[in-house]
Structure 1
Amino acid sequence: MTEHAGLRRRTVLKTAAAVTVLSGPALPARTLAADVVKIGLPVALTGPIGGIGEQMKRACEFWGKQVNAKGGLLGKKIEFVTQDTTGNPANAVRSVQEMVERDGIRLITCVVASNEALAIVPKLAGWDTIFISGDNGDGRLTAESLVPNFFRPNTSGPMGTRAVALWLRESKLTKFYGLGMDYAWGHNSMDVFQNEVKKAGRQFLGAVFSPTGTKDFSTYITKIRQSGADACYLVLAGDDNNAFLSQAKQYRLSDKVQLLTELVDEMSLKAVGEAAVGMVGGSRYTPTYDSPENKAFIAAWQAEYNRLPMMFEGDQYQSCVVLQAGVEKANSFDTAKIRSALEGLKLTSVKGPLEMRACDHQAAEQGFVVKVVEKPGTKDLVPQVIATYPADKITPPCNKMEYTD
């Protein structure tokens, strides 16, 4: 070897060593770029629904860590590409566009708001990308706005509303009022609730809608009190839900009006404390559901975080499990093959058995109704299951948001 060639070799080796130092430990061959699958998380991490986004992101990362520990997804290490959308539909579309064009992403999940999802879905075919919902509730996503590359393993807004409506048929409540967030999910769920109340032969007295980010609910609380309703149905989430419940406690609203909600979220229970006691609502996931799959999930989650999983964490985790099952059934990362594999997919997860219906890409799954109570011997609040309804009772007909009975 000539001196010149030796210098070149030493230079290459030094350069490689420097890259290794700058980049951290060298990855084994099986985890290099060719053996990585990137999954996009266009998630709201700041803003009024940022707390929900944090839950969902945490669930994705927990699932990814589990899969990677067992050899990856089809032998590929899962890596997440995360962008904060702030809950803004335009930001969500821009984030996914960048993920597709810059990172070659063909799988996305963890979108928080339904209006973000509604903005994304028309572009999925052009991006050749599969969107697995982890939270989005608007019924239109599996009805009039359905596109082939969208799948919803989570409980939809109409399904959560339906579970509560079935419970109220057995209650003594007769007159209802509603308060929802003034965007797609709020209006969609309130429409379903109104129809369900009327079908049950009860009175729906009206509803009001508050802009996302509302901090002062005093005028809304006054309207609820003046309506003469004996129950108020809430379609609120995140900071908005916390603000309302705290102020409702100050006004002693629950002394005269039973508070019902589509979603009982443990994050809100921790934030508002006793202001939530006695509230009845739906739950898209509950750690109190007794099944081997849920027990295993809870044990692993507690080992990692030293607490029980919260609702949005369990719901998003199930969506990740469905994504994994679809890819493994397809034995491919090809979009068309994954889409075909997901249609009709059946599995049992942390919420029990589900089927991804081919007709509308909605998971048929059971629904829970819970009541917020104090855990015996503590001041901790827990969502205690008071009713469970089978999939055929809460899942609407294909491509529909309404129920026939």
Structure 2
Amino acid sequence: MTADDCDDCGSPVTRRRVLESIGGAGTLALAGCLGSGGSSTATSSDDESVTIALTAPETGHYAPLGEHERDGFELAVKHLNEGGGLVGDSEYSSLSGDGVLGSTVETAVLDTESSPATTESKVRPRLDGDEFAAFFGGVAGSVAETNRDLADEYETPYFVGSSTVNALTGSDCSPHVYRHLFNTTTLARSLVPEIASDVPDEQSIFHVYADAPEGNDLFQSINDVVTDSDLDWRPTGGISVRPGTTNFESAINDDILSDVSLVFLDLFGLDAVNAIQWARAALSDDTTVVVPYLTRSIAESLGDRVAGIYGTVGWHEDLGTPLSGTFGEAYQREYGTGDAETLAASGPAQTAYAQVVLYAHAAERAGSFDAAAIRNELEGLEYAAGAGTQKMRACDHQSVRSVPVVRGRARSDSVDDRFELRGAKRGMEPGCEAPPAASCDL
């Protein structure tokens, strides 16, 4: 059913007014007005349902990350409605596995195409109709920023996906925006010392970065960390490339790289894959290669060529926390092939999964889907979701958490996971009085 098929959808009564009047404790009478309208997942709704949305790239250079976000999102909703995974664990005793607040959770998945204009064209009409109780996802920084603006305008909870852009919990923060993943500054502060522990003291570093908020953010944050450290590392600049670039040979002059010993590829998704292939062919074997945010899809595309590459991941199966195993096993049961080989979940999948469960937990604790009630529950909340203990800071809605630092490795008879966990860094977040949080005014 589309919005145009519903006779009552033109009523001045909106979902937000219903939520405010019933406190979210009952069912949602308007759920029957929900439709797929631009969604790749139909939302077949009844009178006892609530809809949440995922905004993720299903096409384009960031599509692999979007696919993993969708896996985690849909698995979390399945567990909310049927039980399993983290639902029912003592950490989330508020969740029964029978929906949320008496309502079956329905989904809408909107393909952003990594475009802010496409994102707005698909999300705004659905928010106009008060169709979404909350929405999730976002890989490209510009898409996440668009979602942030919409969340602020419509006072609807939005949980950032795989974007680490500082501004989302800094200068562009919002009382309705939350992030489970670490921000770019915390990533850089965790990653640089780990690399430094392995490479010679003197390094000449160069960046190839996406000409987009996410690439610029990494370039600036990593250089800031290097400059503020006592490392004998010499930044030599960088070059920006448009997202979707495949011909790095024409974009980068070999002479620039003649004296470079450490290269940061501040790129994501298929862009990172293409850049690594270029780097392996163009750079000396002695050059250290870093992709600051690594994902399983990158390793799957590269195979053994991922060996030796440094980066961070949103989640790793060897973190050793109780809920890490719970999530990993649930993911394997859902998406594994059933043979002896295990399927390691990706960071984007764990991020999406954890945030859906966290949102549902907050709604149950509040007894309401109302955005203000959700905020009251989440600010300062200590929780665990498979990446160790975390806390959703009240000052900026940034989760304080561990940062798994990894190094790529070749597959062997004894090793299936392409990423070796080098450590889970803690305490690397700048405080609320330091950038980027200092710029946040909630």
Range of TM-score over shorter length: 0.7 to 0.9
2:219 aligned partner = 190
Tell me the equivalent position of 2:436: 401
**Residues in 2 aligned to 1:288 and 1:217: alpha-carbon distance in whole angstroms:** 34
Amino acid in the other structure paired with 2:300: K
What is the deviation of 1:167? Answer: 1.5
1:46-85 aligned at under 5 Å gives the runs 46-69=59-82, 70-85=97-112
Q: Which moved more, 1:332-341 or 1:223-232?
A: 223-232
Equivalent positions of 1:21-100 (< 5 A) are 33-69=46-82, 70-100=97-127
322 and 150 in structure 1: CA distance in 2 versus 1, 3 angstrom threshold: same
1:333–1:344: structure 2 CA closer, same or farther, 3 Å change rule? same
SS, match of residue 233 in structure 1: strand
Distance 2:428 2:367 in 1: 33
Change in 2 beyond 3 A, CA 1:378/1:62: same
Counterparts of 1:199-348 in structure 2, within 5 Å, are: 199-201=228-230, 202-220=233-251, 222-223=253-254, 226=257, 228-251=259-282, 253=283, 255-306=285-336, 307-348=343-384
One of 363, 367, 390 as aligned partner of 2:403? 367
TM normalised by structure 1 equals 0.86
CA 223–401 in structure 1, closer or farther in 2 if over 3 Å, else same? farther
Q: Which runs of 5+ in 1 are unaligned?
A: 1-30
Q: Secondary structure, in 3 states, of the residue corresponding to 1:239?
A: helix
Q: What is the alpha-carbon distance in structure 2 between the residues aligned to residue 261 and residue 97 of structure 1? A: 34
Any idea what SS the aligned residue of 2:47 has? helix
Give the drift of 1:225: 5.8
Aligned partner letter, 1:124: A
Moved more, 46-55 or 96-105: 96-105
1:145 lines up with 2:136 in the alignment: no
Partner residue of 1:388?
Answer: 424
Please give the alpha-carbon distance, in whole angstroms, between the structure 2 residues aligned to 1:234 and 1:312: 19
The answer as to whether partners of 2:170 and 2:436 remain within 8 angstroms in 1 is yes
Give the CA deviation at 1:379: 8.3
Q: Which has the higher contact order (CA 8 A, sep 6+)?
A: 2
Identity of aligned residues (%): 22
Q: Contact between 1:327 and 1:333, CA under 8 Å: does it hold in 2? A: yes
User: Is this contact kept in 1: 2:52–2:106, CA < 8 A?
Assistant: yes
Q: Distance in 1 between matches of 2:213 and 2:417?
A: 30
- CA drift of 1:208 comes to 1.0
The one-letter code matched in structure 2 to 1:369 is: V
Structure possessing the higher radius of gyration over alpha carbons:
1
- Alpha-carbon shift at residue 75 of structure 1 (Å): 2.1
Q: CA deviation at 1:398?
A: 5.0
Q: Is the 8 A contact 1:289 1:351 kept in 2?
A: yes
Superposition RMSD in Å: 2.1
Q: Report which of the two has the higher share of helix.
A: 1
In structure 1, what is the equivalent of residue 29 of structure 2?
Answer: none
- 1:42 Cα deviation after fit: 2.0
Deviation at 1:33, TM superposition (A): 2.7
1:357 corresponds to 2:393: yes
Contact 1:352 1:366 in 2 (8 A): yes
- For these two proteins, the number of residue pairs brought into alignment is 371
Return 5+ residue gaps in structure 2 as ranges.
1-43, 83-96, 337-342
The TM-score normalised by the length of structure 2 is 0.79
- Give the whole-Å Cα distance in 1 for the aligned partners of 2:380 and 2:255: 43
Is the Cα–Cα contact under 8 Å of residues 205 and 227 in structure 1 kept in the other structure?
A: no
Change (3 A) 1:292 1:144: same
Q: Report deviation, 1:71.
A: 0.4
Q: 1:145 to 1:32 in 2, by over 3 A?
A: closer
Task: Classify 1:327/1:389 alpha carbon distance in 2 versus 1 (closer, same or farther; 3 Å).
Answer: same
**d(CA) in 2 for partners of 1:388 and 1:100?**
38
The 2-side partners of 1:50 and 1:237 are apart by: 10
Is 392-401 or 113-122 further displaced after alignment? 392-401
Question: How many Å apart are 1:226 and its aligned residue?
Answer: 2.4
